Amino acid sequence: MKYGLAFIAIIVGSLLTLAMMLQWERPPMASTQLGPRGVGMVLTQNPRTEAILKSKNIAPESDPPAQLSGIKVKDSPDYQNVKVLGDIDVEEFNRLMGAITNWIAPDEGCTYCHNPENMADDSLYTKVVARRMLQMTRQINTMWTPHVQQTGVTCYTCHRGHAVPANIWFKNDGPPHAEGMSASRQGEGLASKSVGMTSLPYDPFTTLLAKGAQIRVDGTEALPTGKPGASIHDTEVTYALMIHMSEALGVNCTFCHNSRQFASWSESRPQRVPAWHGLRMVTDVNETFMASLQGTFPKNRLGPLGDVAKVNCATCHQGVNKPLYGVSMVKDYPELRIPNP
Ligand code: HEC
Ligand code: HEC
Ligand code: HEC
Ligand code: HEC
């Protein structure tokens, strides 16, 4: 009997160890010191994962520059229904049509967005979406330079040769659950990919990627005397978002924070500033542009709760601190900025 229990304990112990080992990444790891000595601000990266990321995040070569004709699209009788790109040269326009085909639908070609009988026709929803995406991309490259700097983005930054970007999010109610007393999961308690396989709230986006959201949980006093601080749930949602941000950029918390005091800006790294702008940019992209396409997308493109697909940090970053390792594609496609804003 005594040995029986010991035997079971050994088996359980080995299984637990094995389960833990499956979470491990084998050494050697590469580490880079990010902050002052002795404060543990170190970026730890797995060189094998980095090699895979490097091969996946390569910007394609740009087409040779257009030979400008001197005629603007809006002045040419050949174009009937151009609402966004009227201010560019017709040759730039044709070159851009070729490029967006490669960035969005390389296999389908022009007909992914166009009725081949009549290019001016707007009957395909993909063309209507693409027109709004042109405005969105121009807005990001012109109004959101505190985040994207002069590096900017093109359709490829998110799409990478696919009509639906690899990283998008929908409102998430979680899987079906019991009724009654055990009905509410409070949106957490499941290992979710969106938050790095932790059991933190799996949809931190709906509440925190919204205008006016307070991503602030630290109290400013030792005792809860002044204004009431954030609830445990709000704190968990904030941490869930922070894990998403770290995973999306392939970094850890100390890429932006000194973890002795997460709230303190003076002890944070400068990288926390573009991240702050990034949070506001993503909210603008979702609330101004994606939401306006709610009625345009067909049902099969909507989420389980009927909402339109939305953008988060991973949509552009895809595991890297600067999308495509900071290579600027928009410098070869200046028409993706608002001309003379
Ligand atoms: C991802 C969607 C998409 C793809 C693929 C695409 N286009 Fe377009 N195209 C558009 C949008 C959006 C407009 C309207 C732009 C505007 O309103 O400023 C447009 C407009 C046009 C027009 C102007 C029609 C008119 O008279 O109003 C022409 C010509 C055109 N595209 C040619 C092409 C060609 C040729 C290809 C393939 C090489 C192509 N497009 C691929 C989205 C696309
Ligand atoms: C910031 C990220 C981002 C950028 C930049 C971006 N898109 Fe999108 N795009 C999205 C998201 C998110 C969707 C919604 C995915 C879906 O269709 O379910 C989408 C959908 C589309 C669709 C509809 C595809 C389908 O089959 O439903 C088209 C067409 C499109 N984008 C064209 C463009 C063009 C053209 C550009 C560049 C001018 C562009 N996008 C730039 C994020 C982006
Ligand atoms: C890419 C930069 C970045 C990374 C990585 C990051 N954070 Fe943050 N964090 C921010 C920014 C920016 C804010 C402030 C957001 C705001 O004010 O809207 C913030 C806010 C916070 C806050 C709230 C502080 C307060 O004022 O109450 C906490 C807590 C926090 N982060 C923890 C973490 C943890 C834990 C991690 C790692 C899992 C992490 N962060 C990773 C940028 C980052
Ligand atoms: C529309 C695409 C896009 C989205 C969405 C996006 N970023 Fe970025 N981000 C960029 C680009 C482009 C750069 C490179 C700017 C540069 O060259 O400095 C960048 C740079 C950064 C940097 C600076 C990195 C460094 O090494 O200096 C941080 C931090 C960052 N982003 C955080 C975020 C966070 C956090 C989110 C989500 C809240 C986010 N980004 C969403 C496009 C995007």
- One digit per residue, pLDDT tens: the chain, 341 residues? 568 889 999 999 898 888 777 777 888 999 999 998 988 899 999 999 999 999 999 999 999 999 999 999 999 999 999 999 999 999 999 999 999 999 999 999 999 999 999 999 999 999 999 999 999 999 999 999 999 999 999 999 999 999 999 999 999 887 777 666 666 677 888 888 888 888 899 999 999 999 999 898 877 677 766 565 688 888 999 999 999 999 999 999 999 999 999 999 999 999 999 999 999 999 999 999 999 999 999 999 999 999 999 999 999 999 999 999 999 999 999 999 998 87
* Å from CA of 257 to ligand 3 middle: 7
Residue nearest to atom 36 of ligand 2 (CA): 155
What ligand has the least distance to the C-alpha of 239? Answer: 3
What ligand has the least distance to the C-alpha of 247? Answer: 3
131/285 Cα distance (integer angstroms)? 14
- The pLDDT value given to residue 191: 83
Residue nearest to atom 28 of ligand 2 (CA): 130
Whole-angstrom CA distances from 318 to 168, 172, 332 are 11, 21, 22
Instruction: Compute the C-alpha angle 60/89/127, nearest 5°.
Output: 65
In ligand 2, the atom with minimum distance to the C-alpha of 298 is 27
Q: Using an 8 Å Cβ cutoff, are 103 and 161 in contact?
A: yes
Distance from the first to the final alpha carbon of the chain:
82
Query: Which residue do the tokens 């257009």 mark?
Result: 66
What is the CB neighbour count within 10 angstroms for residue 300? 5
260 Cβ closer than 6 Å to some ligand 3 atom: no
Closest CA to 323 of 311, 306, 339: 311
Q: Using an 8 Å Cβ cutoff, are 91 and 69 in contact?
A: yes
- The pLDDT value given to residue 227: 60
* Å from CA of 238 to ligand 2 middle: 27
Instruction: Compute the C-alpha angle 104/105/108, nearest 5°.
Output: 170
In ligand 3, the atom with minimum distance to the C-alpha of 249 is 1
